[in-house]
Structure 1
Amino acid sequence: MKLHFWALAALTLANTHALAAAPGETCVRDLRAITPFLLENDTGARAHLAQKGQAYFDLALATATTAAASAADDKACNAILGNYLGMWRKSHLYVKPGSVQEIAKPAPARPNVASQAAPSKEPALQILSDATVLLSLPSFHDPYRAAVAALLDTHRAVLAARPNWIIDVRRNAGGSDSTYAPLLQWISSDEMVSVGAEWLSTPANIASQEKICALVAPGDQDCIDFATQAVKQMRTVKPGDYVPQENDELISYARVSAQEPRRPTRVAVLMDSECASSCEEFLLAARQSFHVKLIGRNSEGALDYSNLRLHALPSGVRELQYATSRSARLPHLQVDLGGIMPDIYLPPPKDEAGRAQEIVRVQRWLEGGTLRPNNI
């Protein structure tokens, strides 16, 4: 009888654990942990709450809770949580499957199929004519920082000899501002106005800054210096307060150092709705030049709240990726509402051939012709 009692107790405990590990219950637990964490640590959450109202988020949470309770597996839960985060803002707020370590490590290489090869993210230069050159910059992520600088340095004579540049940042999802920094020496006018950002100081945000480089860029001294400065700044104020990223001047006026002696006279930046984050920061910098025109479609609108960091949710099977900084442009110049507008609008191309034709049209325009399709 005693043996039967302990066996029954063990069975009951096992059943309890099984129930606790049910996908629906785990999903609801992660969902309920998101809102209080966002309101304390995410730089946009309080502003979103004020803009949209408590009733809006109460309904969003109730709807998500019902859906989460019925989640059949982790994949379904991830989609539900992602939809809920989209009610807060459309970008720079995500749920990532896996642990912090799993998310941070590089994805395993997959064999390429010729017809399905992923487009390269490496920067590239193409000479279109004696007057025009094309710079393709598909990414500003840290691994391409050295490649962008090397491209500009290696082809300095070619670039200096051509007065017309096309800079293609379509489908550039951003990365790091330091990746495009060498380009500004070529295309900027003498002075640039830079609007900085602020850190939200909380224990969780400080901890995430201390860990970020070891996770995403081991040994990268630029990352280490940046994160160290972030932690130093955050510790100068009490939890819950904002502090400038670098100094007390959120708006700076500076001359561009080491400008190239022979710079292009006409620069067209090709942009689209997939230009996001640091790509949008590049647009804001580039358009200050007297020689630059932005051409294409509105950018994505993913810049006001940045410097994403990871936070483990209770389940241990997914991470919340949230923003730890906000732009000092807010609330007067909000990029996230509709993205950055081009100076000259081009309708979205219907296919890849139409996308390639945009370069032909812009080259023709830079060289004195027309932007009209098919040169009509």
Structure 2
Amino acid sequence: MTHTTDNNSTMTPAECLQDINFTAQFLLENDAGIKAKNWVVYPENIQKILEAQKEKVVDVKTVRDCIALVRPFLNAIRKAHIGLQSESLLSLFLKTSEPNKEESVTTQKLSELTSYIAVPSFGLSVKKQLESLIENNQDNILHAKYLILDLRKNGGGFDDAAEPLFKLLGEAEYWSEIPQIYISPANIQAYKDLQNRIPDEELKAQLAAIIKKMQSKKNGWAYTTEDNTALQSKKITKKDVLANPVKVVVLIDENCGSSGEEFVKSVRQNPRVVTMGQNTYGALDASNVREKQTPSKKLYIWYATTYVHRRAGQEIDNIGIPPSIKLPKPVDQQAYDNEVKLAQNYLENVKDK
């Protein structure tokens, strides 16, 4: 049974050291991002950071102390989709199945020409929210000449949650590089644990197919698609289309990551879509995070189970996706809010877009 540990809970140096050693070895054996680099041991610079942090373990008194201690080591591996946390990832998934303030999709009719949709997450509840907004044509999102999709601060969630948005962007074809899953006994079990706990029946079925493929191969790499294709095309045809805006601005920033970046990577292939803002976070190549509880039972390793082997120069991890139109990083809330006005002005006033 998963749970969340209070960060202020007592943790002994011995417990922390045991968990750190376990984490370091577990990641070498199971993390897809590490396996893609073919590391058998950690590079010297990362190993030095690990050893230096372990020497400080005598000062650990709480769960929070241990999490902070291991962070430099994990950050040296990569900036996201890796962690040692007191919160169970499965518990977090379940939280996102019900809408909350942070997950709420909002709309606004900015003018007779332009409608706006803010999608702060792709959590489990978002797909149904989007479907409802579309069904009700909230704030004229189906008939607006121009559309702004605000994905700033969208840290991701589930790719499926973004599906309704594609039908608002007219006819298009989207190509995606398919991730490969790293198969190990621990990773198979992690997928089973998620399948058992998650409430969404469609996702359960998808996970069941992946688990079946993993079990048939037992180890190594496999594409997550049934036909083992490296590239996949998704066509939005005339019969699928719910809206035909002339132009769409997708606002992005450094906090747009993971599934948020997957959506951005796809829709920028659409000629009517323009991305605007700052580089995205850079957390997409190593992805599909799962968890493993540590020996102390007080912490969870969050780690990536899939990796996209992109062509040289096309990597996204630690780099991000650059916007078509780069805006300076907002210095305050007013400047942040003003980006929506800049997008609206671009759509409604700039000729030959």
Same-fold call, TM cutoff 0.5? yes
SS of equivalent residue, structure 1 residue 267: strand
| 1:233 equivalenced with 2:213 (yes/no) | yes
| 1:326 equivalenced with 2:326 (yes/no) | no
Contact 2:108 2:139 (8 Å CA) reproduced: no
Alpha-carbon offset, residue 85 of structure 1: 1.0
Residue 260 (structure 1) aligns with: 241
Alpha-carbon offset, residue 303 of structure 1: 0.7
Contact 1:123 1:144 (8 Å CA) reproduced: yes
Alpha-carbon offset, residue 188 of structure 1: 5.0
Q: Which of the residues 101, 104, 107 maps onto 1:125?
A: 107
Paired with 1:249 and 1:356, the residues of 2 have a C-alpha distance of 42
Residues 98 and 161 (structure 1), Cα distance of their counterparts in 2 relative to 1, 3 Å cut: closer
Paired with 1:58 and 1:31, the residues of 2 have a C-alpha distance of 12
Q: Which deviates more, 81-90 or 92-101?
A: 92-101
% identical equivalent positions: 26
The one-letter code of the counterpart of 1:229 is A
Name the one with the larger helix percent. 1
For residues 308-355 of structure 1, the C-alpha deviation after alignment (integer angstroms, 9 at most, x for no partner) is: 111011111101011111124265521013100000111111111111
The one-letter code of the counterpart of 1:34 is T
Alpha-carbon offset, residue 197 of structure 1: 0.9
Residue 198 (structure 1) aligns with: 180
| 1:304 equivalenced with 2:285 (yes/no) | yes
| 1:251 equivalenced with 2:231 (yes/no) | yes
Paired with 1:138 and 1:57, the residues of 2 have a C-alpha distance of 34
Contact 2:292 2:301 (8 Å CA) reproduced: yes
Residue 170 (structure 1) aligns with: 152
Residue 58 (structure 1) aligns with: 47
Q: Which of the residues 262, 283, 287 maps onto 2:264?
A: 283
The one-letter code of the counterpart of 1:121 is E
Residues 104 and 120 (structure 1), Cα distance of their counterparts in 2 relative to 1, 3 Å cut: closer
The one-letter code of the counterpart of 1:28 is L
RMSD over aligned CA atoms reads 2.6
Alpha-carbon offset, residue 248 of structure 1: 1.4
Paired with 2:156 and 2:172, the residues of 1 have a C-alpha distance of 25
SS of equivalent residue, structure 1 residue 44: helix
Q: Which of the residues 204, 207, 222 maps onto 1:224?
A: 204
Q: Give the unaligned 5+ runs of structure 1.
A: 1-20, 108-117, 371-376
Residues 143 and 304 (structure 1), Cα distance of their counterparts in 2 relative to 1, 3 Å cut: same
Residues 49 and 236 (structure 1), Cα distance of their counterparts in 2 relative to 1, 3 Å cut: closer
| 1:72 equivalenced with 2:61 (yes/no) | yes
Residue 24 (structure 1) aligns with: 13
Paired with 1:173 and 1:103, the residues of 2 have a C-alpha distance of 13
Paired with 2:89 and 2:279, the residues of 1 have a C-alpha distance of 33
Contact 2:103 2:123 (8 Å CA) reproduced: no
The one-letter code of the counterpart of 2:275 is L
Residue 5 (structure 2) aligns with: none
| 1:147 equivalenced with 2:132 (yes/no) | no
Alpha-carbon offset, residue 45 of structure 1: 1.3
Paired with 2:345 and 2:267, the residues of 1 have a C-alpha distance of 21
Residue 111 (structure 1) aligns with: none
Alpha-carbon offset, residue 142 of structure 1: 0.7
SS of equivalent residue, structure 2 residue 161: helix
Contact 1:190 1:255 (8 Å CA) reproduced: yes
Residues 32 and 135 (structure 1), Cα distance of their counterparts in 2 relative to 1, 3 Å cut: same
Residue 180 (structure 1) aligns with: 162
Structure with bigger gyration radius: 1
Residue 242 (structure 1) aligns with: 221
Q: Which of the residues 357, 361, 365 maps onto 2:338?
A: 357
Q: Give the unaligned 5+ runs of structure 2.
A: 1-9
Residue 212 (structure 1) aligns with: 194
The one-letter code of the counterpart of 1:31 is I
Alpha-carbon offset, residue 213 of structure 1: 3.1
Residues 188 and 61 (structure 1), Cα distance of their counterparts in 2 relative to 1, 3 Å cut: farther
Alpha-carbon offset, residue 307 of structure 1: 1.1
Contact 2:170 2:243 (8 Å CA) reproduced: no
SS of equivalent residue, structure 1 residue 142: coil
For residues 25-72 of structure 1, the C-alpha deviation after alignment (integer angstroms, 9 at most, x for no partner) is: 111111111122111110011345759962112201211211223323
TM-score (normalizing by structure 2): 0.88
Contact 1:304 1:330 (8 Å CA) reproduced: no
SS of equivalent residue, structure 1 residue 135: strand
Instruction: Name the count of aligned residue pairs.
Output: 338
SS of equivalent residue, structure 1 residue 311: strand
For residues 349-374 of structure 1, the C-alpha deviation after alignment (integer angstroms, 9 at most, x for no partner) is: 1111111111112111111159xxxx
| 1:344 equivalenced with 2:325 (yes/no) | yes
For residues 207-265 of structure 1, the C-alpha deviation after alignment (integer angstroms, 9 at most, x for no partner) is: 111111333x2x321221121111111123242x1001012111023422443264001
Paired with 2:47 and 2:177, the residues of 1 have a C-alpha distance of 35
Contact 1:100 1:312 (8 Å CA) reproduced: no
Contact 2:89 2:302 (8 Å CA) reproduced: no
Contact 1:96 1:103 (8 Å CA) reproduced: no
TM-score (normalizing by structure 1): 0.83
Q: Which deviates more, 96-105 or 268-277?
A: 96-105
Residues 320 and 331 (structure 1), Cα distance of their counterparts in 2 relative to 1, 3 Å cut: farther
Which stretches of structure 1, 4 residues or more, deviate above 3 A after TM superposition?
A: 46-53, 98-107
